[in-house]
């Protein structure tokens, strides 16, 4: 443990009392806990994502429910459940917790995170959600196999063996449809693709709404890019576009801040200001979209402070019970001013949001907003 970590734990009483004072005893949410996380050298990327997920109510509830199940062999999800349970059952309202067990397990399971270099928060989010989904699917598969052994039914059709959807999919999964229209015969073909988070390109002086519209812009395939049309049995000019077919309960939206520059032979950061709303309406949905409720509330942002992917610092700002709170590793502060500053596109030299989480409007209405 570093000197900074020891100092943060020693000072947590001061930070805690300041936060409680800022919120006020009458306004402080009942049964809520605001705990900073100790940084183990380079783990701000992890801490920032964990805070965003902790304050995503359906995710937190499912993780805590997993903790309440019978004892399981240690994995990344059991370590996450232990961490969330430790926060949720604290006697104090605010403080600092070292997520040592979770970090150790993460580094043990994936070499990418087993070093002291700065990591990408979005890459970690993607890895964590997919790993949890894999763990849950494997457990369901084992339960099925054990049930078959007991019932003596080992010859079920193959389609019954495909992975089941988990609560991770129920919360975060949406569906994109890739539509291609042949300009010769007008035949439209489509292919669906599921996602747990949506990555979009970023431009200078733009907005989230603009980025999403660019994501769904129609692209013409011509010259060497011509499309092979099954109906025409030949390559033809075509138009291609991407649409959201199924909207997720929680939309994790990632801006591609880091771009590989051929002339530099390395990734560089696109430090563009992007205006974002506290409420987001998704327009780029397909005509047969399953869910027509397109309004989302902003509930968390992950911010990268620094000049490149391998340097800098991550923080998170979350909305909880109507309060905007800043989580900067072990430090927790009321953070509404930072949200307003970022949202208005004000000049804040090194502060760039890279991941947003939006929830369906009304989802947290009786608890977290």
Mean pLDDT of 310-335: 88
Q: Which residues on neighbouring strands pair with residue 191, listed in sequence order?
A: 178
Residue 89 reports pLDDT greater than 90: yes
Say which range, 6-15, 62-71, 85-94, 160-169, has the weakest mean pLDDT. Answer: 6-15
Give the mean pLDDT of 9-20: 58
Residue 61: per-residue pLDDT: 96
207 vs 252: CA distance, rounded Å? 16
pLDDT at 351 over 50: no
Question: Per the residue annotation, which of 44, 56, 79, 354 is the catalytic one?
Answer: 44
pLDDT score of 158: 54
Q: How many CA atoms lie within 13 A of 46 on its CB side?
A: 29
Across the chain, mean pLDDT equals 82
Among candidate residues 85, 210, 313, 321, the one labeled active-site is 313
- Mean pLDDT, residues 73-87 taken together: 96
Share of the chain above pLDDT 90, in %: 44
Instruction: Tell me if 148 sits within 8 A of 217, measured CB to CB.
Output: no
**Domain ranges across the chain:** 3-141+164-360
Q: Is the pLDDT of residue 2 over 60?
A: no
Annotated active-site residue 46? The verdict is no
Catalytic annotation present for 366: no
Sign of the C-alpha dihedral, residues 358, 361, 366, 369? positive
CATH, domain 3-141+164-360, list 3.20.20.70, 3.90.70.10, 2.40.50.140, 3.30.310.80: 3.90.70.10
pLDDT of residue 367: 44
């Amino acid at each position: 443990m570093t000197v900074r970590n020891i100092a943060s734990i020693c000072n947590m009483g001061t930070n805690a009392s300041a936060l409680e004072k800022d919120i006020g005893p009458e306004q402080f949410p009942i049964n809520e806990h605001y705990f900073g996380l100790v940084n183990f050298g380079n783990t701000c990327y992890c801490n920032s994502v964990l805070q965003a997920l902790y304050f995503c109510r359906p995710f937190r509830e499912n993780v805590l429910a997993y903790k309440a199940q019978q004892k399981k062999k240690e994995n990344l999800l059991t370590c996450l459940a232990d961490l969330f349970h430790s926060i949720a059952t604290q006697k104090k309202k605010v403080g600092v917790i070292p997520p040592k067990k979770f970090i150790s397990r993460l580094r043990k399971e994936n070499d990418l995170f087993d070093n002291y270099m700065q990591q990408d928060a979005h890459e970690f989010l993607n890895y964590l959600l997919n790993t949890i989904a894999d763990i849950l699917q494997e457990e369901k598969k084992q339960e099925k196999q054990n049930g078959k052994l007991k019932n003596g039914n080992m010859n079920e059709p193959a389609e019954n063996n495909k992975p089941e959807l988990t609560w991770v999919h129920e919360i975060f999964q949406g569906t994109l449809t890739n539509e291609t229209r042949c300009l010769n015969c007008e035949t439209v073909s489509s292919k669906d693709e599921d996602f747990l988070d949506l990555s979009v390109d970023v431009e200078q002086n733009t907005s989230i709404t603009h980025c999403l519209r660019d994501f769904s812009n129609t692209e013409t395939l011509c010259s060497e890019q011509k499309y092979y049309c099954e109906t025409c049995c030949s390559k033809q000019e075509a138009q291609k576009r991407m649409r959201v077919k199924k909207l997720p309960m929680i939309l994790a939206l990632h801006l591609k801040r880091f771009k590989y520059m051929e002339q530099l032979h390395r990734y560089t950061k696109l430090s563009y200001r992007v205006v974002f709303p506290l409420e987001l309406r998704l327009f780029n949905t397909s005509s047969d979209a399953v869910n027509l409720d397109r309004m989302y509330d902003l509930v968390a942002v992950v911010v990268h402070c620094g000049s490149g992917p391998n340097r800098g610092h991550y923080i998170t700002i979350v909305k909880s019970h109507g309060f905007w709170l800043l989580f900067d590793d072990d430090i927790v502060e009321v953070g509404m001013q930072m949200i307003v500053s970022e949202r208005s596109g004000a000049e804040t030299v090194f502060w760039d949001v890279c991941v947003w989480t939006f929830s369906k409007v009304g989802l947290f209405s009786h608890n977290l907003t």
